[in-house]
């Protein structure tokens, strides 16, 4: 069992293997979904065109699964509802160029593929391109100008195989052209799709491409290209779906000469929508040519035709829209004129055409008034300039015209009776006339164009001319109300589908026959039964309608009854539910369509009353006579039996189918992505509807029913020889077929449903898958072996390299580590050493210091002691001197005192002696004593005074010393210094005085 992830990987690697495994193992559990996975989400809304939508898983871990779909809507899915989601094939995730490669080959897968590519502006996608000569291209209308149609692109796509380049309309054109030359066979390109899907644009692109690569720039080439503007002017109109909607089908057959140059062309037109001339739905216009004419004509021309502005004409204003955005009617007019010149329309013819167009406009403006004659409803045309202009332009008698428009001539039993027409009938007659004119004018124009561009082959042998036919035809239609035209259109599409399916199948058959392959058992469903019922078998629907149209009393109801009677048991016919219903249904290849029978016969008869033909016959206007030539020539009786619209259409369709059947066809399926003509807008339901109608599924079904895979022997041998050891490459093989067979038998088994052709081997899908798986296995084994060896070698050398590197890193790291350690250790040791040394030094220092200190102490002690001794000595000496000096001074003083006392004593004694002469001895003694005492007191006072003086002197000296000491510390002032230095000069006495004195004793 594969896991989801592995599945996805497998998808991307090997599609075939995936598909096989998917068959074996279809259930993928939702629990294996992962965010980012893509799934198909079945919304089950029940719409007819509802298909699964692609979605991406956002969340899936919370029990519920959250997904985001392609439309941008979020959905929560509970596990019970998980059957709604299926895993998506990887080819559907990113899209593929060729849809045959889609793993999810169903409508949802195809739709999503187109959607993905469309969002990337890749509007073209192949469908089963490579194996078929006639391939199918799907083109989605971009509704914007893409830069993919340049001359460079044309060059890029020239002479390439389909599949070699990305899908493109040019690839189809190129293949048409080169197939035509290579195979010498006519080619055709069937371009189909709804209105507005891009058929006409595709046709023009192919034409351009062909003109470019056939490369002659010739006149005829130009003429072929210029046919388009004319056809578009007269056959295209603005509708709500398409601003330039072709209201007719066309088949352009382009003829090439043997050198591959455009030599001519032939245009076939189908079923122009004539009713548009008289009636337009809201927001739609009449044919372009009317508006262009009114915009572009000169005032004189308009005056001659009595014309004015578009808004003045009833036939041009029914859709209340006279201008078309993005279309310049004036410019288009000149384009039409020049195109008409190129295509050899003479001025006279042009003028006649415009005259008829003007007639139509005037007729549209005729007013009617109701009247009653003999109890019969009748009417009259109000006289107006329009009426006279109409008569003038038609060059008929005014009265005849009036009669013709208001009454009708009946021939009963050889008598002609004129009966009045009611107003309603008269309007119908007028409209029928107008439609008759326009329809025939259109046919004439196409014939005129053909006359210019078509060169009949009679002169040269047929083999020398080849052609490419481009069919731009309305696609399958299913409106709410479908009328007779839709029946014709759907009948045509039924035919084309038949052609398509048969062609695809026929090609298969051809190839099988060519290769001698037994293909009997290959079945496919085609729409032959539906075609039989509509137009082939006796009493078919068309023939019944025709029959009833010819039957004079036939009505739509009688016709419906006949249809019911004839076909009610046919599975392809759906009868009305009751008698009142007027619809019947047909099971077409693309689905059931209900047709509203009212108006069927009228539309089918498509005949004009005899009166009108008569009127034309009476006209002097040669041109109108010319375009009504066939009708005029027929005569009344034959006209009644003239072919009906359906039989005409059937005949031209048969012719077309016959032409197509001898061509190698290519198919372009145009798809309209939305109804709003908007770029980048993708309406899923609309696209599913178109896909269903295009019948693309049928191709895929047929292809899958047969042998979808085929290889040439060379391809097969080269691709699968790995499955048989020893098989040599194809170019070395002699019996390629035998080798192929051996390989196939060995891998697929002898009895399985595969076949050997003459040059190819034919396989079913599952064979291819099986072969691919086996091949994948074989190659995987070899690859694994090679991988093993290579990886071994790679890993070994890697390992060695890594080992070397690791060792280097280790070495370096370890070295670094050791160095770091060593450094740290060394630093440690240094620190230790330093410590030890410092300790040692410290110790010795301390010792030395101690010693020095001791020594110093002693020295200082010695010095101090010595100084002390000196000082002591000095002190003692000074003391001694001082003491000596003091003692001496004292001595001298005492000596002086003594002497003075001695003298005083002597004097006292002398005096006493002297006084004793004069006085008694005692008295003399007392007197002498008293005088002596006085002298002693005086001496004491003198001593005290001297002592005081000396003390004063000593104090003064001391102060002077202190002052000088102080002055020594003070900053020096020069002048003061001088004063001081020489100040002594004034006081030499004191100086001398001081010098004599002994030094002061220190205290
Ligand atoms: N290949 C294209 N590139 C750009 N625009 C396109 C292309 N095909 C179609 N269209 C647009 O779509 C419109 C309708 O295309 P047309 O071919 O007239 O549709 P149909 O013929 O199918 O009715 C054109 O007028 C043009 O605007
Ligand atoms: Mg068209």
Q: Has 475 been annotated as catalytic?
A: yes
pLDDT at 7: 53
Q: Check whether 24 has a pLDDT greater than 50.
A: no
Enumerate the domain spans of the chain.
Answer: 4-88, 518-645, 707-830, 893-973
If you measure from the C-alpha of residue 229 to the centroid of ligand 2, how many angstroms do you get, rounded to a whole number?
12
Q: Check whether 547 has a pLDDT greater than 50.
A: yes
Are the CB atoms for 437 and 627 separated by under 8 Å?
yes
Q: What are phi and psi of 131, to 5 degrees?
A: -80, -20
Q: Which helix (H) or strand (E) holds 201?
A: helix 199-214
The dihedral sign for the CA sequence 898, 901, 907, 910: negative
DSSP single-letter state for residue 518: -
Name 668's bridge partners.
137, 191
The residue count of the chain comes to: 1003
Atom 16 (ligand 1): residue with closest C-alpha?
198
Q: Are strands 245-246 and 249-256 parallel, antiparallel or unpaired?
A: unpaired
Q: Which ligand is nearest to the CA of 327?
A: 1
Report residue 339's pLDDT band, with 50, 70 and 90 as the boundaries.
Answer: very high
Mean pLDDT of 326-340: 95
Are the CB atoms for 622 and 629 separated by under 8 Å?
no
Q: Has 196 been annotated as catalytic?
A: yes
Token pair in block for residue 145: 């100008």
Are the CB atoms for 699 and 135 separated by under 8 Å?
no
pLDDT at 130: 46
Q: Check whether 576 has a pLDDT greater than 60.
A: yes
Name 124's bridge partners.
139
| Angstrom distance (rounded) from CA 969 to CA 332 | 129
For residue range 48-66, what is the model confidence (pLDDT) as tens digits?
888 999 999 988 877 788 8
| Angstrom distance (rounded) from CA 148 to CA 201 | 13
Mean pLDDT (the chain, rounded): 86
pLDDT at 508: 72
Higher pLDDT pick, 654 / 703 = 654
Pocket probe for ligand 1: among 137, 141, 153, 190, the residue whose CB has the most ligand atoms within 8 Å is: 141
For residue range 685-724, what is the model confidence (pLDDT) as tens digits?
999 989 887 877 777 677 667 777 778 899 889 888 988 8
Q: Check whether 74 has a pLDDT greater than 60.
A: yes
Alpha helices in 454-609 (DSSP H): 484-514, 528-531, 541-550, 556-567, 600-605
pLDDT at 346: 95
Q: Is 453 exposed, middle or buried (0-12, 13-18, 19+ CB in 10 A)?
A: buried
pLDDT at 992: 47
pLDDT at 1: 43
Q: Which ligand is nearest to the CA of 247?
A: 2
163 CB neighbour count, 10 Å cutoff: 15
For residue range 488-515, what is the model confidence (pLDDT) as tens digits?
999 999 999 888 888 877 777 777 888 8
If you measure from the C-alpha of residue 676 to the centroid of ligand 1, how many angstroms do you get, rounded to a whole number?
13
Which residues are CB-neighbours of 12 under 8 A, at least 6 positions away? Answer: 90
| Angstrom distance (rounded) from CA 477 to CA 693 | 9
- Identify the residue whose tokens are 């002690």: 861
Active site residue: 249, 475, 610, 695, which one? 475
Mean pLDDT of 227-239: 95
pLDDT at 28: 40
Which residues are CB-neighbours of 644 under 8 A, at least 6 positions away? Answer: 545, 546, 549, 550, 604, 605, 606
DSSP single-letter state for residue 558: H
> Which atom of ligand 1 is nearest to 201's Cα?
17
pTM over 0.75: no
Report residue 990's pLDDT band, with 50, 70 and 90 as the boundaries.
Answer: very low
| Angstrom distance (rounded) from CA 906 to CA 740 | 191
Is 193 marked as a binding-site residue? yes
Q: Check whether 293 has a pLDDT greater than 50.
A: yes
Mean pLDDT of 841-864: 86
Q: Which ligand is nearest to the CA of 240?
A: 1
Mean pLDDT of 568-579: 92
| Angstrom distance (rounded) from CA 363 to CA 361 | 5
Q: Give 4-88's CATH code, choosing from 3.30.300.30, 2.30.30.30, 2.60.15.10, 2.40.30.170.
A: 2.30.30.30
Q: Has 200 been annotated as catalytic?
A: yes
If you measure from the C-alpha of residue 424 to the centroid of ligand 1, how many angstroms do you get, rounded to a whole number?
39
Mean pLDDT of 848-864: 85
Q: Check whether 170 has a pLDDT greater than 50.
A: yes
Active site residue: 32, 81, 106, 195, which one? 195
pLDDT at 6: 60
> Which atom of ligand 1 is nearest to 195's Cα?
23
Higher pLDDT pick, 597 / 927 = 597
Report residue 526's pLDDT band, with 50, 70 and 90 as the boundaries.
Answer: confident
| Angstrom distance (rounded) from CA 166 to CA 122 | 9
Active site residue: 84, 125, 179, 246, which one? 246
Are the CB atoms for 875 and 867 separated by under 8 Å?
no
Q: Has 395 been annotated as catalytic?
A: no
- From 258-262, 410-414, 674-678, 688-692, the region with the lowest mean pLDDT: 410-414
Are the CB atoms for 81 and 44 separated by under 8 Å?
no
Q: Which ligand is nearest to the CA of 475?
A: 1
User: Considering the domain 707-830 in this protein, what is its CATH number?
Assistant: 1.20.5.4820
According to the per-residue pLDDT averaged within each range, which of 33-42, 213-222, 352-361 is highest?
352-361
Is 198 marked as a binding-site residue? yes
| Angstrom distance (rounded) from CA 595 to CA 587 | 11
The dihedral sign for the CA sequence 642, 644, 645, 651: negative
The protein residues having their C-beta less than 5 angstroms from ligand 2 (an ion) are: 199-200, 246
Higher pLDDT pick, 77 / 133 = 77
Q: Check whether 21 has a pLDDT greater than 80.
A: no
For residue range 102-140, what is the model confidence (pLDDT) as tens digits?
777 788 999 999 999 999 999 999 886 544 445 789 999
pLDDT at 501: 82
Are the CB atoms for 224 and 212 separated by under 8 Å?
no
Q: Check whether 164 has a pLDDT greater than 90.
A: no
- Please report, for residues 260, 862, 961, 988, 993, the alpha-carbon distance to residue 983 in angstroms, rounded to integers and kept in the order given: 150, 45, 16, 10, 16
Question: By C-alpha distance, which of 239, 251, 260 is closest to 203?
Answer: 251
Atom 11 (ligand 1): residue with closest C-alpha?
143
For residue range 751-810, what is the model confidence (pLDDT) as tens digits?
888 889 998 888 876 787 788 778 878 888 888 999 999 999 999 999 999 999 999 999
For residue range 258-292, what is the model confidence (pLDDT) as tens digits?
889 999 999 999 989 999 999 999 999 999 999 99
Q: What do you get for the CA distance between the two ends of the chain, in Å?
A: 131
pLDDT at 705: 72
Q: Does domain 518-645 have CATH number 1.20.58.530?
A: yes
Report residue 973's pLDDT band, with 50, 70 and 90 as the boundaries.
Answer: confident
Atom 15 (ligand 1): residue with closest C-alpha?
198
pLDDT at 18: 56
Question: By C-alpha distance, which of 267, 302, 561 is closest to 443?
Answer: 267
Report residue 357's pLDDT band, with 50, 70 and 90 as the boundaries.
Answer: very high
Q: Has 45 been annotated as catalytic?
A: no
Residues with C-beta less than 6 Å from any ligand 1 atom? 141-143, 145-146, 193, 195-201, 242-246, 670
The dihedral sign for the CA sequence 24, 25, 27, 28: negative
Is 195 marked as a binding-site residue? yes
Pocket probe for ligand 1: among 201, 680, 686, the residue whose CB has the most ligand atoms within 8 Å is: 201
Q: Has 246 been annotated as catalytic?
A: yes
Q: Check whether 586 has a pLDDT greater than 90.
A: yes
Report residue 914's pLDDT band, with 50, 70 and 90 as the boundaries.
Answer: confident
Q: Has 242 been annotated as catalytic?
A: yes
1 CB neighbour count, 10 Å cutoff: 10
User: What dihedral angle (degrees, nearest 10) is formed by the CA atoms of 937, 942, 943, 949?
Assistant: 150
Question: By C-alpha distance, which of 295, 549, 834, 177 is closest to 541?
Answer: 549
Are the CB atoms for 677 and 184 separated by under 8 Å?
no
Active site residue: 196, 264, 436, 610, which one? 196
Q: Has 597 been annotated as catalytic?
A: no
Is 200 marked as a binding-site residue? yes
Q: Check whether 631 has a pLDDT greater than 50.
A: yes
- Report the percent of the chain where pLDDT is more than 90: 49
Can you spell out the DSSP letters for 589-601?
TTEEEEEE-TTHH
Are the CB atoms for 268 and 659 separated by under 8 Å?
no
Side by side, the strands of the sheet bearing 583-588 are: 573-574, 583-588, 591-596
């Amino acid at each position: 069992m594969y896991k989801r992830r592995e599945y996805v990987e497998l998808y991307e690697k090997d599609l075939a293997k995936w598909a096989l495994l998917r068959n074996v193992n279809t259930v993928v559990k939702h629990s294996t979904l992962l965010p980012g996975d893509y799934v198909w989400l079945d919304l089950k809304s029940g719409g007819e065109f509802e298909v699964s939508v692609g979605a991406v898983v956002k969340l899936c871990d919370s029990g519920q699964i959250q997904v985001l779909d392609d439309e941008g809507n979020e959905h929560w899915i509970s596990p019970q509802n998980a059957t709604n989601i299926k895993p998506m094939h990887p080819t559907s995730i990113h899209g593929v160029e060729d849809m045959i490669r889609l793993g999810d080959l169903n409508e949802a897968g195809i739709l999503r593929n187109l959607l993905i590519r469309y969002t990337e502006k890749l509007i073209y996608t192949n469908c089963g391109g490579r194996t078929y000569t006639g391939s199918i291209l799907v083109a989605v209308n971009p509704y914007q100008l893409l830069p993919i149609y340049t001359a460079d692109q044309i060059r890029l796509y020239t002479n390439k195989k389909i599949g070699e380049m990305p899908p493109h309309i040019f690839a189809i054109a190129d293949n048409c052209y080169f197939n035509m030359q290579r195979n010498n066979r006519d080619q055709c390109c069937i371009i189909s799709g709804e209105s507005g899907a891009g058929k006409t644009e595709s046709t023009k692109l192919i034409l351009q491409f062909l003109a470019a690569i056939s490369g002659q720039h010739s006149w005829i080439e130009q003429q072929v290209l210029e046919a388009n503007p004319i056809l578009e002017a007269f056959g295209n109109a603005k509708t709500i779906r398409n601003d330039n909607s072709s209201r007719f089908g066309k088949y352009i057959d382009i003829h090439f000469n043997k050198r591959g140059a455009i030599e001519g062309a032939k245009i076939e037109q189908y079923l122009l929508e004539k009713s548009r001339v008289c009636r337009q739905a809201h927001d739609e216009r009449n044919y372009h040519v009317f508006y262009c004419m009114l915009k572009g004509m000169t005032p004189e021309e308009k005056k001659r035709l009595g014309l004015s502005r578009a808004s003045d004409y009833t036939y041009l204003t029914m859709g209340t829209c006279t201008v078309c955005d993005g279309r310049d009617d004036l410019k288009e007019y000149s384009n039409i004129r020049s195109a008409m010149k190129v295509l050899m329309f003479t001025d006279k013819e042009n003028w006649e055409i415009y005259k008829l167009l003007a007639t139509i406009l005037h007729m549209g403006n005729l007013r009617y008034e109701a009247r009653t004659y003999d109890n019969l409803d009748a009417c009259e045309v109000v006289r107006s300039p329009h009426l006279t202009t109409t008569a003038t332009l038609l060059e008929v008698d005014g009265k005849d015209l009036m009669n013709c428009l208001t009454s009708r001539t009946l021939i009963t039993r050889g008598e002609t009776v004129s009966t009045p027409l009611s107003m309603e009938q008269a309007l119908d007659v007028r409209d029928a006339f107008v439609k008759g004119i326009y329809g025939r004018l259109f046919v004439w124009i196409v014939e005129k164009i053909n006359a210019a561009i078509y060169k009949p082959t009679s002169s040269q042998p047929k083999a020398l001319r080849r052609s490419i036919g481009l069919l731009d035809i309305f696609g399958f239609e299913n409106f709410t109300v479908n009328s007779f035209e839709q029946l014709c259109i759907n009948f045509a599409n039924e035919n084309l589908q038949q052609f398509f399916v048969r062609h695809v199948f026929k090609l298969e058959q051809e190839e099988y026959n060519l290769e001698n392959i037994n293909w009997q058992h290959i079945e496919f469903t085609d729409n032959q039964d539906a075609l039989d019922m509509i137009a082939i078998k006796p009493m078919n629907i068309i023939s019944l309608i025709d029959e009833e149209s010819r039957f004079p009393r036939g009505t739509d109801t009688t016709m419906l009854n006949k249809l019911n009677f004839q076909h009610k048991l046919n599975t392809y016919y759906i009868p009305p539910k009751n008698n009142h219903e007027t619809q019947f249904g047909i099971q077409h290849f693309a689905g059931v369509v209900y047709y509203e029978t009212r108006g069927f016969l009228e539309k089918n008869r498509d005949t004009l009353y005899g009166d009108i033909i008569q009127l034309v016959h009476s006209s002097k206007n040669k041109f109108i006579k010319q375009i009504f030539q066939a009708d005029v020539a027929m005569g009344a009786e034959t006209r009644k039996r003239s072919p009906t619209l359906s039989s005409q259409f059937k005949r031209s369709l048969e012719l077309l189918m016959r032409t197509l059947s001898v061509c190698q066809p290519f198919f372009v399926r145009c798809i309209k992505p939305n109804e709003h003509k908007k770029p980048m807008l993708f309406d899923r339901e609309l696209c599913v509807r178109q896909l269903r109608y295009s019948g693309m599924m049928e191709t895929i079904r047929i292809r899958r029913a047969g042998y979808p895979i085929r290889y040439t022997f060379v391809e097969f041998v080269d691709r699968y020889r790995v499955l048989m050891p020893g098989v040599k490459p194809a170019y070395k093989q002699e019996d390629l077929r035998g080798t192929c067979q051996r390989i196939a038998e060995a891998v697929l088994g002898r009895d399985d449903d595969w076949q050997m052709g003459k040059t190819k081997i034919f396989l079913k899908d599952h064979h291819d898958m099986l072969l691919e798986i086996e091949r994948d296995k074989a190659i995987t084994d070899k690859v694994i072996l090679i991988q093993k060896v290579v990886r071994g070698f790679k890993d070994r050398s890697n390992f060695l390299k890594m080992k070397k590197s690791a060792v280097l890193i280790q070495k370096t790291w370890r070295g670094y580590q050791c160095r770091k350690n060593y450094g740290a250790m060394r630093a440690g040791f240094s620190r230790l050493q330093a410590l030890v040394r410092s300790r040692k030094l410290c110790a010795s220092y301390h010792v030395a210091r101690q010693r020095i200190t001791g020594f110093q102490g002693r020295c200082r002690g010695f010095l101090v002691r010595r100084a002390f001794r000196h000082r002591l000595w000095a002190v003692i000496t000074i003391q001694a001197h001082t003491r000596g000096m003091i003692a001496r001074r004292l001595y001298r003083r005492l000596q002086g005192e003594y002497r003075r006392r001695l003298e005083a004593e002597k004097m006292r004694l002398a005096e006493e002696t002297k006084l004793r002469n004069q006085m008694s001895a005692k008295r003399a003694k007392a007197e002498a004593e008293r005088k002596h005492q006085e002298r002693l007191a005086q001496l004491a006072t003198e001593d005290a005074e001297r002592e005081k003086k000396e003390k004063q002197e000593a104090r003064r000296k001391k102060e002077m010393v202190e002052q000088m000491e102080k002055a020594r510390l003070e900053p020096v002032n020069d002048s003061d210094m001088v004063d001081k230095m020489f100040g002594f000069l004034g006081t030499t006495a004191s100086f001398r005085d001081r010098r004599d004195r002994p030094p002061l004793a220190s205290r």
